[in-house]
């Protein structure tokens, strides 16, 4: 019987500090009304100095392992999606490996911006299916508050910090034929890289290292590309919109989320939304939203869930998962 990746546990971590729109408006030329009308965001979490991508990723990973009834001894692969790593190297994933006490296997970081978690899920699923690992942590952890341009009110109000994680376990049990990661679909279009990027890196010390975004262009591509990726996932599994129980989308903008829900013919109560409280946490947003909906009992075992995200690159993708 072929190996299937079972999504055994979910976990999340949010910094303690909550920053409301009104608080931002004291230092940024903006207002609560302006932000809410355009994005749906009311507040976000900002990391304290000690809350790095590794710190938050470790906390989310511990929660995912606990949810799965697993221990660090069950982990032999850690894939951490981030564009705000603690260091150029070693990989943030290896800092998490050390903090968890995982003594075997391997780990690495993956950079695909806001689509990073979907990319990481796809890579981990492939490794489990081919027998390269048996237990994989896939983590999205981001500290965007440290790369924002506070003079650009169009972008600095959109993002927050946090981490989310899932633990995948390889299984050949009979129910694995219908459960787990059914398929993943990832894409990229490098010619659109200049509509959403960070102006700087370790190799460009003369750059400020701030996020730059053409919001109108990103929005224009987002709904089209994400709808295509979701339809691709359903078609690959011989399913239709009517089969979907839940949509867990990238939490970038309430208008994009609403548009995706409509395209799937899902009522609002079947679309997981955290953007109002978390803002855009990039690669962390999908696993954070999934962890919340699992923890509060909305998403249950047996539910068919669509995950999707789009980020700078452009990168985008979808995953179809039976919990």
- Catalytic site positions: 114, 250, 280
β-pair partners for 227: none
Collapsed DSSP state (helix, strand, coil) of residue 154:
helix
Q: What angle do CA 240, 123, 200 make, to 5 degrees?
A: 110
d(CA 45, CA 162): 7
- Please give the C-alpha separations between residue 248 and each of 55, 118, 226, in angstroms, as whole numbers: 25, 11, 12
d(CA 75, CA 269): 34
Place of tokens 């710190």: 55
What b-and-e string marks burial along 214-236, b requiring 16 or more CB atoms within 10 Å of the CB?
ebeebeebbbebbbebbbbbbee
What six digits make up the tokens of 112? Answer: 């695909």
What are the DSSP calls for 235-274, one per residue? HHTT--GGG--EEEE--S-HHHHHHHHHHTT--GGGB---
d(CA 141, CA 164): 6
List of residues 6+ apart from 56 with CB closer than 8 A: 13, 15, 47, 141, 143, 161, 162, 163, 284
């Amino acid at each position: 019987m072929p190996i299937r990746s079972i999504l055994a546990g979910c976990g999340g971590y949010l910094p303690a500090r909550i920053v409301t729109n009104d608080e931002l408006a004291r230092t940024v030329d903006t207002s609560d009304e302006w932000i809410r009308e355009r994005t749906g965001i009311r507040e976000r979490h900002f990391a304290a100095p000690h809350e790095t991508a590794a710190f938050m990723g470790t906390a989310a990973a511990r929660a995912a392992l606990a949810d799965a009834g697993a221990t660090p001894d069950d982990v032999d692969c850690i894939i951490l999606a981030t564009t705000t790593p603690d260091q150029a190297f070693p990989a943030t994933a290896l800092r998490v490996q050390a903090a968890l006490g995982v003594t075997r296997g391997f780990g690495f970081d993956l950079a695909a911006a806001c689509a990073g978690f979907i990319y990481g899920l796809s890579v981990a699923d492939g490794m489990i299916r081919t027998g390269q690992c048996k237990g994989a942590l896939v983590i999205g952890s981001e500290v965007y508050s440290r790369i924002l341009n506070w003079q650009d009110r169009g972008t600095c109000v959109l993002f927050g910090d946090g981490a989310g994680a899932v633990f995948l376990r390889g299984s050949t049990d009979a129910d694995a034929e219908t459960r787990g990661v059914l398929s993943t679909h990832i894409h990229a279009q490098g010619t659109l890289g200049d509509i959403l990027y960070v102006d700087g890196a370790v190799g460009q010390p003369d750059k400020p290292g701030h996020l730059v975004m053409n919001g109108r262009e990103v929005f224009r591509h987002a709904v089209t590309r994400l709808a295509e990726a979701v339809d691709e996932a359903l078609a690959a599994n011989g399913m239709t919109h009517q089969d979907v129980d839940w949509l867990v989308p990238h939490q970038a903008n309430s208008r994009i989320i609403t548009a995706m829900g409509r395209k799937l013919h899902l009522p609002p109560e079947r679309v997981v939304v955290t953007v109002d409280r978390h803002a855009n946490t990039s690669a962390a947003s999908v696993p954070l939203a999934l962890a919340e909906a699992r923890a509060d009992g909305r998403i249950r075992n047996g539910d068919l869930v669509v995950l999707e995200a789009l980020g700078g690159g452009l990168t985008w993708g979808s995953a179809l998962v039976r919990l």
